[in-house]
Amino acid sequence: MQNYHIKNHFTLENPIVEVKLQEDNISFVDSQNVLYIFDKKFKLSLKMKLDKSNDTRHMFCNEFNISKNSISVPLKKNLISTLYNEGKIKATFKSTIHQSNINFTRYSKDAKYLLSASLDGKVFIHDLETKTIRYSYKNRPDYCSYATFSHKNKLVFVSYFNRTNTLLNLQDDTLVEFNTNDPIELAIFFDEDRKLFLANREGYSIIYDCIEKEIISQKVLFTHWPTSATLSQNRKNIVIGTRTNKLYIIDPFKNELINSMDFEDSAVANVDIKNNDLLIGFTNGNLSLIDLSYKKEQFLHHVNLKEYDKAKEILDSNCFLYLDDAIDKFKKSFDEVLVKAKELITKKFVDEAIKLVDPFMQYKEFKTKIDALLIQQDHIAHFIEAVEKKEIQNAYFFAQKYPIIESLHYYTLLENRWEKIYAEARSALEEDPLRGVHKAKNILSPYEKIPQKSELIKFLLNNSVMLSRADAAVKKQDFKTYFRLVEEFDFLKQTRLFKKIQDLAVSIKNKATQLYADGEYKAAQNTFRTILDFQEYKQFALNEIEKIDHILRFQFAIEKGNKKLIYSFANKYNFLSFTPEFEGFNEEFDKHINKALKVTKYGDVKKARYILNDYIGIKELEKKIDNCIKIGYLKQFENTDASPKEQDLFLKRYNFLFGIDNLLEASMIKKSLSALFKEFCEDPSTLEVKRYPDSLHL
């Protein structure tokens, strides 16, 4: 049975190597370097050969890229960025910096930057606005296997075939390196760019935490070599294409496989999602537009009516509804369904219970709970029988051995009976502490041999005053006193009151977490303080209170405009650099950098230094400012007819400030000074110079 709905279909003669869903068109490139642009009804708007050579691109190549109507065109060592507008293609940027054939290109999400990588291991990020090199990576022993920008264009991930990976932060040009067990074939940022999903050809699904800078999860989730990936519109799931006709849906937050589907076509070359459509380009030349929201309204209708079996039938006809927020309503119904299933099992209607929960078996966490319920149905039946026959000891025996029983309605009835008797015994002791002991013993005698109650009974008979003190502390919300009593008298943990307090702690924790997520920092901090007396959550609460304290101090620094303190905070506490407050503040620095880049490309270092004057001296921005200023020095050198002495002086001073890099090599080649550069690299020496002088060679 086909579990997806094709909205439109198109066939080309050659494999599709790149696809992109735009607001008003569908763009794709085939292996013969031909660009096709269609409207949403698949009416051809433009057909154009991007590379006039007869070279055929590999069907799984990453050489072309499309973003916001910009199309990257690598022509061996040369790179061109073109723009599609009003039915025409125009070249807007050209670069000849690569010395080897380009094997990978990728635009940032806003199409401001274009990353290019070549077979000699060199990687550059081009600023298409200022037409300068935004960042030059150090040479690697192997070439780039995959690269991508984060959604907010702050982070850049690059992986190499030698299994090393880099994460560049474009806010301050800091670079983090880490290794994986195999070269990365695809990567995609999620969770507001805080995490990175990685996949390799061995089937590993890897989750990297961009804040903590470490791999936090690694599982084998698929059996086929991944080729492309796209994030769902709600940014909760990832669709992965493979070198077969199989497509996977992954939940990156849990690092779990949600679903997979097979297509009748050949291997998937590329995928993209936009406006409830999924575009798939296949290596046999087929192009399919999938309707992601097919039958969504009927699905929600059945969920609202609690007709979960019919809702599941629609999911089976359109598995891509798993990518829609509508699925959340379906999932939230499970707890209620599980309660009903338990009730049915207690009434020995097992087949009806199985039928009721069957639509939810797709989810691993639900299936685990359902399996546990079904496996223990005989034990549940014995427990119910014991309760009905008032065989209290047997009933508690089953409850102790099979924890799932505690979630049953019959267990609540059993506990209510105990609470009533327990309260009666306490009243007898409170009325007459001396003569009431005998009466309390008689009341509690049916429970004396029950392990879950025996110690509590002994405690009650000997420490009724402590129980009263515990109750009083809770009524006054004096949890510090209550937990001190719990710590001193361990038997208090066996009371229902203790369980209620634990549930209260979870509720407060969830409320505080939500307030934090909503940006209500002071309210969240105050709420976290209320669970400091809950030993189990104390350390968590302290950590959150400290984190919020950093955020509040950080916000105060932003209000005062203290640049040095702001960047120092963001560097020391990495999570702060992901906050909207910092991103908004940092936009001002980005404007200054872009303005400076526009003058450095003409070699005007003095003016660039003037533009960046308010930021020079901030340690955290030193690398980014260096990368801007050195472009000016290189342009100065390229535009000057320097003498051999000046050439030597320039090399030494440049090496002292920035070190030998690909940008320097490119400038020397441009000046026909390759031999001098090679000689200098073999025996480099530096000449101390003050930071950012007007010139390095005069």
Contact 635, 683 (CB under 8 A): no
Assess whether pLDDT exceeds 90 at residue 425: no
**Structure confidence at residue 438 as a pLDDT band (50, 70, 90):** confident
**pLDDT 10s digits, 525-572:** 999 998 888 888 899 999 999 999 999 998 998 988 899 999 998 888
Element (H, E) at 286: strand 286-291
Q: In Å, what is the CA distance from 436 to each residue of 412, 425, 432, 443, 668? A: 28, 8, 5, 11, 100
Q: Does 627 share its domain with 675?
A: yes
Alpha-carbon distance 674 to 193, whole Å?
41
Domain boundary among 494, 524, 547: 494
Produce one character per residue of 609-638: b if its CB has 16 or more CB atoms within 10 Å, e if not. bebbeebeebebbebbbbbbbbbbbbbbbe
pLDDT value of position 611: 96
In a domain, 135, yes or no: yes
In a domain, 438, yes or no: yes
**Domain count along the chain:** 5
Residues 94 and 152 placed together within one structural domain of the fold: yes
548 and 621 part of one domain: no
Percentage of the chain surpassing pLDDT 70? 98
Q: 380 with 439, same domain?
A: yes
47 is a domain residue: no
Q: Which of 177, 194, 221 is the last residue of a domain?
A: 177
Poorest-confidence range of 191-200, 376-385, 490-499, 623-632? 490-499
Q: The CATH number of the domain where 151 resides is what?
A: 2.130.10.10
Confidence of residue 1 (pLDDT cuts 50, 70, 90): low
Contact 199, 185 (CB under 8 A): yes
- Is the domain of 540 the same as that of 607? no
Whether 592 contacts 615, CB under 8 Å = yes
Q: Closest Cα partner for 407 from 373, 360, 356?
A: 373
For 513, the domain range is: 501-560
Give the span between the Cα atoms of 241 and 228, in whole angstroms: 5
276 inside domain: no
| Residue 77 phi, psi (nearest 5) | -90, -15
pLDDT at 628 (0 to 100): 93
Same domain, 316 and 382: no
Residues 536, 594, single domain; the answer is: no
Residue 665 or residue 345, greater confidence: 665
**For the purposes of burial, counting CB atoms within 10 Å of the CB of 7, is it exposed (0-12), middle (13-18) or buried (19 or more)?**
middle
pLDDT confidence bin for 433, thresholds 50/70/90 = low
In Å, what is the CA distance from 570 to each residue of 183, 284, 387, 602, 630?
Answer: 31, 49, 60, 33, 25
CB 205 within 8 A of CB 197: yes
Q: Is the pLDDT of residue 431 over 80?
A: no
Residue 115 in domain: yes
Task: Please determine, for residue 465, whether its predicted confidence score (pLDDT) is greater than 90.
Answer: no
Whether residues 602 and 632 share a domain: the answer is yes
For the segment 387-409, the average pLDDT, to the nearest whole number, is: 85
pLDDT at 126: 96
Asked if 588 and 637 sit in the same domain, the reply is yes
What is the rounded CA–CA span in Å between residue 104 and residue 84? 21
pLDDT, tens digit, 9 for 90 and up, residues 135-188 = 999 988 899 999 999 999 999 999 999 999 999 999 999 999 999 999 999 999
Bridge partners of 246, per DSSP, are 262
Q: What is the pLDDT of residues 104-145, one digit of tens each?
A: 999 999 999 999 999 999 999 999 999 999 999 998 889 999
Asked whether 446 and 425 are in contact (CB, 8 A), the reply is no
Q: What ranges in 479-532 are assigned the alpha helix state H? A: 479-488, 496-517, 521-529
Q: Is residue 37 part of a domain?
A: no
* pLDDT digit string, tens, across residues 507-537: 999 999 999 988 899 999 999 998 888 888 8
Q: Residues 537, 435: one domain? A: no
Q: Does some domain include residue 74?
A: yes
Kindly state whether residues 661 and 591 are assigned to the same domain: yes
Beta bridge partner(s), residue 84 = 89
Query: Could you tell me the sign of the dihedral formed by the alpha carbons of 362, 323, 313, 331, in that order?
Result: positive
465 inside domain: yes
Q: Are 360 and 329 in contact (CB under 8 A)?
A: no
Which residues are CB-contacts of 643 (< 8 A; sequence separation ≥ 6)? none
Q: Do 533 and 594 have their domain in common?
A: no
Instruction: Please name the amino acid found at residue 171.
Output: Q
Inter-residue contact 482 to 501 (CB < 8 Å):
yes
Over residues 398-404, mean pLDDT: 83
| Tokens 């050969």 found at | 49
**Coil, strand or helix at 665:** helix
Average pLDDT over residues 338-367: 84
Looking at the DSSP assignment, which residues form a beta bridge with residue 81? 72, 93
